[in-house]
Structure 1
Amino acid sequence: MPGGPVGRRQVSGATVDERAPTAEGDRPSRRRRPRRRVALAVAAVVAVGGGASAVLLGTGGGSASGTAAALPPKTAPVTKQTLRDTQTEDGQLGYGPTYSATSRLQGTLTKVPESGDVITRGRELYEVDGKPVTLMYGSKPSYRPLEVGTEGSDVLRFEKNLRALGYDGFTVDKEYTEDTADAVQEWQDDLGLEETGTVELGRVVFAPGAVRVDSKQASAGDPTSPGRKVLTYTGTDKAVTLELETTDQRMAKKGAEVEVTLPDDETVKGRIDEVSTVIEPGSGQSEEAKTKVEVTVWLRSAKARKAAAAYALASVDVTFTAGTREDVLTVPVSALLALEEGGFGLEVVKGAASSYVPVKTGLFADGRVEVSGDGIAEGTAVGVPK
């Protein structure tokens, strides 16, 4: 091989090959000469691979591969494995988000439950003027009275609850009929309410499921009116809440499964229920507002409920998995070389010779990257920095 020995040096955070001439007039080959223009390529690798180096190589002649000037200082084999893009964050185990029950009635609170009480469908949530305000299940709140002739999804939601409580004689649909009113009169009689057949606004509070009273915002004897908060509540299942940086939002997708490690090191599965972006205002003119991503993870499986039952509040670890690739070829991220014509390559070593081979990259995780390309197989030796 013509020319002298090859050394490696760092340029702007990237490793480059440099041929040392042995006689006056000798030059490195233009086709293989490394370039200084590496900043963008290196930044792309570092951002995903955690500080890896890359080399921008000109291959010349339009060829996608070239012969290396000398063997790399070290090699690593291409391995087949499963890659998982994971990240672990601190979370707080509790009962999930807190919601407010707000009165829509005018009068006096005559009964308010205690913190920790659990209320289920059809049961009294609180009492106004000696008459119950009951809990029913639904994702949207009441916004109008229900009476004969009323139509809409709120009618359907109420009738589903009425049927679930054992009342019948009506069709469960979006129309409030005389038959519905008859069933409502029976329901009102059972609750000790005036049998009007009309559901007044504020007599029912809708929540997604059974609720656990978190705190009282008012006490028995206090006056109440529309808009007055009575209590706050949560769900009855255990949940983990946590915050992510906006740059990590890709880790949290609604419906995705995560692993939660409890204080006793037991690991259970959870599912992401809610992902929301929250802006935290700065405390003064000198402090800028911060944007955070709030994540709620519910522990609803039988195993998770049992494992978390011993903890009212606790700090836990939540492991997110943004991507998984099974049985793929991988190399250390530091083995990637940024090609001048775009994309990445590897320096493949065979015996006493090596060559640059372009590759397609896939998932980056744990300092390794998924690769594929001609001549890349399990066990192939590739160059890596010393």
Structure 2
Amino acid sequence: MTSQEEGTVARTAPEEGTVARTAPEEGTVARTAPEEETGVEGGELELRTGALPSLDGSDGAVAPTPASPRPRRRRMRVVLIAACAVVVAVAAGGAALGVFGGGGDEAEASAPSGPPATTKVKRATLTSSQTLDGQLGYGDTAAVQAPSSSGSAQSGQQGGGAASSGIVTWMPSDGDTITRGKPVYKVNQQSVPLLYGSVPLYRTLQPGSSGSDVKMLEQNLRALGYKGFTVDDTYTSDTASAVEEWQDDLGRTETGEVKAGDAVVASGARRVAKAELAVGDALAGDVLTWTGTDRVISVDLPVQYADLAKKGGKSTVTLPDNTTVTAVVTDIGTPTSSGDSSGSGSQSGGNGSDSAGSGSSNATVPVELKVEDAKKLGSYQAASVSVEFAAEARSNVLAVPISALFALPGGGYAVEVVTGTKTEYREVKLGMFGNGMVEISGTGITAGTVVGVPK
């Protein structure tokens, strides 16, 4: 070892594994390397568990420099406080989003944006119903037959008389309306007029005759403007005088007597459905078919729904353009079978026969309805329609749209009640369904309660 100069400090090489330390100069402060800043990556504070990282980058080692320990503890304390704040905020957010545990009866949820749409529970009248296909038209058709040459009635139509044979010289057109006193057809240039009534001309009426057919004739004569006789059920000479005047106006021979076949009797004005004979044809068979003049709805009601139709009952009819009109049941027939090989007018309501037996599983009841305000039918003359028959009605019940119901996992139903910024599923009991609504009841369900529904 060499001698050191005066005023110098002897320096030796550090032993292997030791850390060289130098004393700070007088008046200076020992400094360590700056610590890396603990920032938030991607704008989020990442919470970690386990030992905090060392400031010099080693895992779990403590930095050897003893200087300035207090600032680091403050920074660590700030980090922990911030982490606790974030945990509290996340928990609060979970509550706000309805992230709950537990198995309570009511599932409560806060919905900042609410359900897609809402509606209110309201009081309403609900009607359960059955909708069936119907046909708009003029009702059943009936045939007007030529009178038989023997003078006997044929298939409900009178025969004989001056017009019992001959050549057709005039016919109405399809769609024409025939009213009282107007010709139904002409044969040998003689008019065969229409009379209103329920009793056909089945015999010769002359002075001394009496009966309901006499009264029917006199009522028609009076309605056509003929006078000088008393309207009763006795055919007098005064009646004969009025008949002669009527025959003269018709261009017929004035006999004062009325024979079967001299007129056609119907319940009212008729609309010609189809002319079966043409001018020049011999008067025989079906002359024409006709219907009533009012448009009606015909429905073949399955027997299981027969109790839905009551005479005078109202139904809602939907037309092809989706407009609705109100119709009243005017006629209910007897059960007929849709499998009847005779094909007796399943669309027109049938003729009241039951050749296949009313016990058939395909049996239907012909029902006819009349539209109250015919103007609402527009220009429709014949069309397929839908008829809604009311089955039951309940008034002043609490109701919501059917779409507001939620099926519960264990059975039953609930509605999503909106209360302020929260929603709450409340179990409800269901009542009648009708008109797209459902009757509900339950705790906290009152008129005006706001519930969620799909858009």
TM interval, shorter chain, is 0.5 to 0.7
Change (3 A) 1:127 1:255: same
Secondary structure in structure 2 of the residue aligned to 1:121: coil
For residue 336 of structure 2, the aligned residue among 260, 275, 278 is 278
Matched residue type, 1:296: E
C-alpha displacement at 1:121, in angstroms? 1.0
Change (3 A) 1:254 1:145: farther
Secondary structure in structure 2 of the residue aligned to 1:143: coil
The match for 1:92 is 135
2:253 matched to 1:194? yes
Partners of 1:323 and 1:137 in 2: CA distance: 40
Which of the two has higher C-alpha Rg?
Answer: 2
Which runs of no fewer than 5 residues in structure 2 stay unpaired?
1-103, 108-120, 147-158, 343-355, 401-430, 448-455
Partners of 1:294 and 1:282 in 2: CA distance: 14
Change (3 A) 1:283 1:199: closer
Change (3 A) 1:159 1:378: farther
Matched residue type, 1:125: V
Superposed, which structure 2 residues align to 1:145-160 within 5 Å? Answer: 145-160=204-219
2:293 matched to 1:250? no
Q: What's the CA shift string for 1:247-290, capped at 9, x where partnerless?
A: 011111222222222222222222222211223445599xx783
Partners of 1:72 and 1:157 in 2: CA distance: 77
C-alpha displacement at 1:163, in angstroms? 1.0
Partners of 1:172 and 1:137 in 2: CA distance: 15
For residue 165 of structure 2, the aligned residue among 107, 118, 122 is 107
The match for 1:238 is 295
- Contact map agreement 1:137 1:207 (CA 8 A) in 2: yes
C-alpha displacement at 1:223, in angstroms? 2.3
- Contact map agreement 1:79 1:378 (CA 8 A) in 2: no
2:308 matched to 1:308? no
Secondary structure in structure 1 of the residue aligned to 2:221: helix
Change (3 A) 1:151 1:368: farther
C-alpha displacement at 1:208, in angstroms? 2.1
Partners of 1:142 and 1:323 in 2: CA distance: 46
Matched residue type, 1:313: A
Change (3 A) 1:252 1:130: same
Change (3 A) 1:85 1:217: same
C-alpha displacement at 1:369, in angstroms? 9.6
The match for 2:320 is 263
C-alpha displacement at 1:83, in angstroms? 3.0
Change (3 A) 1:282 1:152: closer
C-alpha displacement at 1:198, in angstroms? 1.2
C-alpha displacement at 1:309, in angstroms? 3.9
Partners of 2:193 and 2:385 in 1: CA distance: 35
Measured on the aligned residues, the alpha-carbon RMSD in Å equals: 4.1
For residue 291 of structure 1, the aligned residue among 363, 366, 370 is 363
Change (3 A) 1:97 1:179: same
Secondary structure in structure 1 of the residue aligned to 2:218: helix
Change (3 A) 1:118 1:377: farther
Q: What's the CA shift string for 1:316-356, capped at 9, x where partnerless?
A: 2212224434335899xxxxxxxxxxxxxxxxxxxxxxxxx
Range with greater deviation from structure 2 (252-261 or 125-134):
252-261
Secondary structure in structure 2 of the residue aligned to 1:132: strand
Secondary structure in structure 1 of the residue aligned to 2:311: coil
Change (3 A) 1:296 1:199: same
Matched residue type, 1:148: P
Change (3 A) 1:179 1:377: farther
Q: Which has the higher contact order (CA 8 A, sep 6+)?
A: 1
Partners of 2:433 and 2:214 in 1: CA distance: 51
- What fraction of aligned residue pairs are identical, expressed as a percent? 44
- Contact map agreement 2:398 2:446 (CA 8 A) in 1: no
Change (3 A) 1:315 1:72: farther
Matched residue type, 1:180: T
Partners of 2:388 and 2:241 in 1: CA distance: 53
Change (3 A) 1:300 1:329: closer
Partners of 2:391 and 2:199 in 1: CA distance: 31
Superposed, which structure 2 residues align to 1:128-143 within 5 Å? Answer: 128-143=187-202
With normalisation by structure 1, the TM-score equals 0.61
Change (3 A) 1:289 1:246: closer
- Contact map agreement 1:329 1:377 (CA 8 A) in 2: no
- Contact map agreement 1:282 1:290 (CA 8 A) in 2: no
Name the count of aligned residue pairs: 283
- Contact map agreement 1:244 1:293 (CA 8 A) in 2: yes
Q: What's the CA shift string for 1:291-320, capped at 9, x where partnerless?
A: 11112122353xx2x232412221222122
The match for 1:46 is none
Change (3 A) 1:271 1:181: same
C-alpha displacement at 1:233, in angstroms? 0.4
Which runs of no fewer than 5 residues in structure 1 stay unpaired?
1-70, 332-360, 381-386
C-alpha displacement at 1:124, in angstroms? 0.3
Change (3 A) 1:122 1:250: same
- Contact map agreement 2:312 2:328 (CA 8 A) in 1: yes
The match for 1:213 is 272
Change (3 A) 1:192 1:244: same
Partners of 2:341 and 2:221 in 1: CA distance: 49
Matched residue type, 2:143: S
- Contact map agreement 2:199 2:212 (CA 8 A) in 1: no
